[in-house]
Amino acid sequence: MPLLKALETRDLYTIGWIATLRLERAAAMAILDEKHEKPLDFIQPHNDTNSYTWGRINDHNVVIASLAAGKYGTTSAEASALHMLSSFPQIRIGFLAGIGAGIARPDHGCDIRLGDIAVSQPHGNSGGVIQYDLIKANPGNQQESRAFLNSPPEVVLHALGNLQAQHILEPLRVLEYLEEMITRYPRLAKQGYVHQGFENDRLFKTTDPSEVQRENRDSTEPEIHYGIIASGNTHFNDAVYRDEILEDIGEECICFEMEAAGLMNNFPCIVIRGICDYADSHKSDRWQRYAAATAAAYAKELLDYIPGQDLQKTQKAIDFLKDISGNVADIRSNTTNMKTVVEGLKLDNKFSKIEKWLSPPDPSTNLNKAQKERQEGTGSWFLESEPFKEWKSGIRQNLWLHGIPGCGKTVLSTTIIDHLNQHDSCHAILNFFFDFTDTNKQSLDQLVRSLIAQLYSKCEGSQKELDLLFSSCKNGREQPTSESLFTTFLRMVNCVEKALIIIDALDECATRKDLLLWMENLTCSGCAGLHLLSTSWKEEDIESGLRRWMHQGSLVSIQQDSVNHDIRAYVHERLRNDHGFHRWHSNSSVLGEIETELMKKANGMFRWAACQLDILQDCLDLQMLQKSLRSLPKTLEETYARILASIDENYRDYTIRLLQFLTYSKRPLTIQEAVDVLVVDPSGDPPFDSKLRMPEPQQIMRICSSLVSLVTRKHNGEKVMELQLAHFSVQQYLQSKQIESAFPGKATEVGWMFQNGLNEITARGSITRICLAYLSHLAEECQVRKIRMEFPLAQFSAQYWMEHARPVETEKDVQESIMNFFLQQRQTYAVWGELFDPDMPLAKEPRNYTGMATPLYYASRAGLQNTVKVLLEKGVNVNANDNRGHHALRAASSGGHMDIVQLLLEKGAEVNSKEYSGCNALEKASSGGHVEIVQLLLQKGADVNSQCGFHGNALQAASLHGHMEIVQLLLEKGADDKACEYHSALQAASLGGYIETVQLLLEKGVDANAQGSEYDCALQAASSTGHIEIVQLLLEKGADVNAQSLGYGHALLAASYGGRMEIVQLLVKKGADVNAQDDYFGTAIQAASSGGHIEIVRLLLKEGADVNTRGGEYGRALQAASFGGHMEIVRLLLEKGADVNSQCRQYGNALQAASHPGYKEIVQLLLDNGADVNAQSSAYGNALRTASLGGHKEVVQLLLEKGADVNNQGGHYGSALQAASNQGHKEIVQLLLEKGGDVNAQGGTYDNALQVASYRAHKKIRLS
């Protein structure tokens, strides 16, 4: 390797090049004509975290700065630039060359392709870059969602013009430079720094899965596009969101990127971006390296046109930075306060993280649908009723509205919600609609998640409770338990004055028993501000469950007469406004006759009336109309039978197929999926032909419009049209055995056709064959994203075929389809594995099919007993493993498929085989509670003490889930609790709250003090989770009340932190040391103070807890309470002698701990009790700097009034003025300046406040 030369001084470098990604840095380094060692006089400052490369391009000496690994975005780029200018003060101009997302508009003359180059160029008011995620405040409180940034220096703009003119006459030199780069560094070609092929450059429409057709190019030479570049902190992989941003910007942008906005106002530079994707869901990494190379090559060519003498005359970039800063008066008078916007963005970002973790169902889709169906003025009878008035006023805490199917309960719920939003908007109004068509809205867990998310977004005071849960779940890396969700929701409700909750359709909940118990516990929790209103059909289990605890007067029947009044208004409105009845508008007597006849038989059924109107609007003359009116069906079942009977003979097969999918599938079909369902012919060759698709998909509604409905929902930010059954009663009818009997006499043959076609066995067999046939058509395809775009039914088929196959696999045609799929269609099998992984059903990204398990494994996992039998008969290896150790016996044991387990063992399955995680069949069966399988495995020689995976061994797996019978069986077979390598069975049972299992383990001699895992011992586990009976039992059996270990330290601390008062009392009574220490939580009084549990604090103090004991995360109890905002605990601790000025660990002193989140009242209380306003500690320095950084103006004002030194230096941020400037808190900056803040005072990371303000100006303030 040739020796690199080193220039004498850093001052010889005049070009600064920012490369934010490693691949961008590699391209920049490869394009250098000459690489240098670091300058001889260069000593990198300690606070400069950049990584530098030095070299020459033509006559220019270039320094390349790259960010720390994993850093990108406007903030990281600006930090890198600022450090570089400080370290290399002679830099004149900067280049930001790298990758970006192209904004292709072929129809508008902007045919951007992957590998092309986008260059920022001033246009109109724009300097070439717009920061799209800022909001500029204009006079009159108007807001403009953009911020124009500075233009590149004149020397660059002159060079740009000359280069553009030259390109008109001669070809680019970019390709020449790329070839030189590859010749010099051949490895770059293998790593992707070459053109990736036109076939891999595809542009798709925003909301349409079809590809945009573009003319082929005859050369790989990239085209150059000059214009406005949009910059911000958002990764785009959603075309709809991308287009919404573009619409907000209102400019013809050519590219999105993530660093330029951090530089343009502070660093005189030009932005050059190689296009690597189109900012949509099809983005991948494939083009990134080539795009980085093209950008670097263009930057090199542009440097050819910048004369060295002109560059020397250009202002130094560091001087440019100082000029921007100007004087403080100018900054104060010309900046726009962005504090509210920035804090709003932070909150939005925080909530988006929590929302992604919580995954709450969105009730607004049901609400919006019902609002469209509601007739103005309906439901007023209930709003004016005494029960509702009493519920709304708080006299009644609960109401249950019940009525017959189809009486309009959901629409009435919507009326109630709209009324409350209009008249009680100051309170928290929450709602949820259980929905038989949406699997995400059918469980108690999903209900509570939705209510929590709504409460979090509406009531700021409740947010801390969910924040704590989020933190306890390792900031979203783990999912909360149902119990923790229930507890958190109750705590959040207690934070609001009044919460009005409306829950619709309890009868459509799949976990009714749990739901009813939760409603009872919620009502009996003592939360006076909570008011619950629910609706459902009057079903026995619901009624009996509610009557047990709900006052008789709160059970409200929806009366027929009241509903009929609303039905009449609905019928009257439809007759006069529905286009289908337009032919009768000139004959009011006919309209009156229709209304009269319908009202005679409506009997309080909205759904019935709506269906009759759908049928009657097809009557073309009076005779036909009157005949239909004379023979109106009496019930919903008869109505649905008539709708089926009236379907055109040509559409019957289509109708049956659609209804099979909609009746028995877990979710609705998108309209594109439904269209493809009708095209598939399982016996055809080929089984699917896209040319046979309906040309107008929405016309699918003509097949059976009254039984299905088309709804619009949002999935991943994009609107999707879905086909679903129109009402819960429709599903119940179609799943019943009454279809044929409800048909009119002459149509019994048609009725039999529908009855047979919608029989569950027939329906699921048909669905299975259609799904497998559709998948078989994909055998020649290999790109998953292309498959999902071009074949909408592919994902559904891959995900659900086994579920439908299970009850029908013995049917001959189904069995043939399955075996053909598993054994004959290897490519199809591989594509299935890429589309859906049964072991990770929630995974969204495809994986490499080479990691797939065997057909025997998947059949065993899915419970396909007959398929397993046939596969074994065909000679497949019963002990075959894939590269993840997947084994059929473990799969069957986990799923509880006893017959398959037996069959596999008979064929020689290895009973003790383990997968890569260490799990074996016995552990899987024990965890799932499958006692018969456990018995069988033990009989066949399963090792009862084998160590395995997460649970440790089978005994712990059974204990953790409370499977008492299995625990007993395992112990009888010699299970040894001490054989567990990581955990304790006793601890697991204690954590789960299974007292009988705990008792059994103790009786069998398990050590009550056995340790291991997060909770370390059983006593800690039970104390933390609040299982007082288990705590008592463990203590009686010799558990050491003061046992110290990792995790929660000791039981008293665990109970104190969790707010378990009764357990704390019990532990103290049994001799728990109230002053025992722990590394994280410190002492029990610290833990209780942190959690805000004042009664526990009082008890601990009474029992001798030392109020000033030091240790743990917060240092002392006073700091913990101050940081948590627990005013009364702070007051109590001070009264008991807490040292108000004690210093310790992260939060320094109590004053600083309270100033950090901005608790003004606590700050005042601490100051009144002698807190030193200028005490120094921790990374923030003192209380004034802490409050200034957080933007807490009132706290800052209070501290200054109490004598805080405005210019005190210390900590990461130097002075309070620097801290406020760093975060863009203009009002605090002004306040500090008025109090004598020194803008030139040196200290902290950014040297002085003036430099911080100019450095941060682009982000927090806007120069007018």
By the 8 A CB rule, do 911 and 937 touch?
Answer: yes
Provide φ and ψ at 1102, rounded to 5°: -60, -35
Q: Kindly give the parts of the chain with pLDDT less than 50.
A: 1, 69-71, 73, 135-148, 323-348, 848-850, 981-982, 1014-1015, 1254-1264
Bond before 686 cis per omega within 30 degrees = yes
By the 8 A CB rule, do 236 and 280 touch?
Answer: yes
Calpha distance 269→912 (Å, rounded) = 65
Number of Cβ within 10 Å of residue 1027's Cβ equals 24
In 326-385, alpha helices (H): 328-334, 339-358, 364-373, 380-383
The residues with which 948 forms a beta bridge, in sequence order, are: 952
The conformation of residue 820, written as its DSSP 8-state character, comes to I
Calpha distance 953→930 (Å, rounded) = 15
Among 912, 810, 916, 900, which residue's Cα sits nearest to residue 859? 900
DSSP string, 1198-1224: HHHHTT--TT---STT-SHHHHHHHHT
Calpha distance 915→905 (Å, rounded) = 17
| pLDDT value of position 344 | 39
| Single-letter residue type at 1063 | I
Calpha distance 115→291 (Å, rounded) = 5
Tokens 């559709």, residue located:
774
Q: Which two tokens stand for residue 649?
A: 């003979």
The dihedral sign for the CA sequence 1147, 1151, 1154, 1156: negative
3-state SS, one letter per residue, for 466-516 = HHHHHHHCCCCCCCCCHHHHHHHHHHHHCCCCCEEEEEECHHHCCCHHHHH
Q: What is the pTM of this model?
A: 0.61
By the 8 A CB rule, do 941 and 935 touch?
Answer: no
pLDDT digits (tens, 9 = 90+) for 450-498: 999 999 988 888 888 888 788 777 677 778 888 889 989 998 998 888 9
Pairing, β 15-19 against β 5-6? unpaired
Pairing, β 143-144 against β 136-137? antiparallel
| pLDDT value of position 271 | 93
| pLDDT value of position 263 | 65
Provide φ and ψ at 226, rounded to 5°: -110, 135
| Single-letter residue type at 1240 | N
Domain ranges of the chain: 10-315, 359-558, 563-632, 636-814
Tokens 């440097």, residue located:
303
The residues with which 35 forms a beta bridge, in sequence order, are: 55
pLDDT digits (tens, 9 = 90+) for 587-642: 889 999 999 999 988 888 888 998 999 889 888 999 999 998 998 998 888 888 88
Query: Is it true that 10-315 and 359-558 share their CATH fold?
Result: yes
Please report, for residues 616, 642, 737, 738, 749, the alpha-carbon distance to residue 638 in angstroms, rounded to integers and kept in the order given.
15, 6, 13, 10, 16
Number of Cβ within 10 Å of residue 762's Cβ equals 16
The dihedral sign for the CA sequence 373, 377, 378, 380: positive
Could you tell me which CATH number the domain at 10-315 has? 3.40.50.1580
In 191-338, alpha helices (H): 239-249, 288-303, 308-313, 317-325, 328-334
Q: Which helix (DSSP H) or strand (DSSP E) does residue 113 occupy? A: none
Superfamily (CATH) of domain 359-558: P-loop containing nucleotide triphosphate hydrolases (3.40.50.300)
The residues with which 34 forms a beta bridge, in sequence order, are: 56
The residues with which 715 forms a beta bridge, in sequence order, are: 718
By the 8 A CB rule, do 951 and 914 touch?
Answer: no
